[in-house]
Amino acid sequence: MTTRKIQKNDATSDKKEEKSEKKTEVPEIPLLIADFMGKLLNQEKYCDVEFIVGSADADGTSANLKKFKAHKLVLAAHSPLFETMLYGYSSQEIPITSENLIQVQMKDSNPEAFDALLKAIYTDKIEVNDDNLEQLSVVGKKYQIEKIQLACATYMEQGITVKNVCQMFESAVKLLGDDKFGFQFIRENTEDILKSDAFLKLPQKRLEVLLADDKLGTDESLLFEAVIKWGKAECKRQGIQSNLVGLKTILKDILLLIRFPTMDLGEIATSVGPSK
């Protein structure tokens, strides 16, 4: 009997331990601080700084101006520049609004890019696309927000397409300090890129860098035809007639980069001849 009692007690003890273990199995609830910070920004709660971003139009209207409310501590924690801007001033140096917010004018910033900057700081969500890439890169670099700079650099490296490669090839000099960015992609997709509208918008200096490359994957005659189309587009941008005189003026330095000796007589007759 004694043995049975011990076994029963052991069984009861096991059940209690099971119950105890079950009580401690509390489901994990993720504490997403970014969600709370996003609400804090959107609801404009407890803000202590107001930014007036953009510049007035030529006629004095404020269509390009936008106001943003934020929190000094949050911004200063993310950016040394914001820290200096928002905490390194005396009360006489910066205006205070009726809501007791310090007011900061930012005439050289783009409102859409600054809005994306705040969202990135508060929520860690960064939406980079072809339209905002350059402006977002500029504000990320200016305010020393590393996650924005990294997101833009990653987008440029992974999001390159025939449609946007010319824009990235142009922007990479200023944004990344890389004047050869995208060259491998350009070499592999040269003919498609030459047919794109973006190619016609390349600045002359970037076009010259591209033409100087000797590994472009296309015939020289197709490259020459694309250069003529670019020349006509540039004539239009500069208000010059796209006739023989206009094209000679625009293309005088660029044509030196076309390798005419590599073109056979037939190509010269059909491509070069009609363009003279």
Domain ranges for the chain, please list them: 193-276
Token digits of residue 228? 């003529």
What is the maximum span of the chain, computed from C-alpha positions, in angstroms? 117
Which architecture, in CATH terms, is 193-276? Alpha Horseshoe (1.25)
Is 50 exceeded by the pLDDT of residue 8?
no
Token digits of residue 7? 């076994």
Mean pLDDT, residues 209-236 = 93
Calpha distance 178→193 (Å, rounded): 20
Which pLDDT band holds residue 3 (cuts at 50, 70, 90)? very low
Model pTM?
0.67
Q: Residue 32 has what pLDDT?
A: 72
Q: How far, CA to CA in Å, does 128 sit from each of 75, 145, 186?
A: 20, 14, 22
Q: Residue 209 has what pLDDT?
A: 94
pLDDT tens digits for range 109-154: 889 999 999 999 999 889 898 888 889 998 999 898 999 989 998 9
Q: Give 165: exposed, middle or buried? Use CB within 10 Å, 0-12, 13-18, 19+.
A: buried
pLDDT tens digits for range 189-216: 999 999 999 999 999 999 999 999 999 9
Is 90 exceeded by the pLDDT of residue 74?
yes
Cα-based torsion angle of the residue sequence 213, 215, 217, 220 in order, rounded to the nearest 10 degrees: 60
In a 3-state reduction of DSSP, which class is residue 64?
A: coil
Which residues lie below 8 Å from residue 259, measured CB to CB, with a gap of 6+? 220
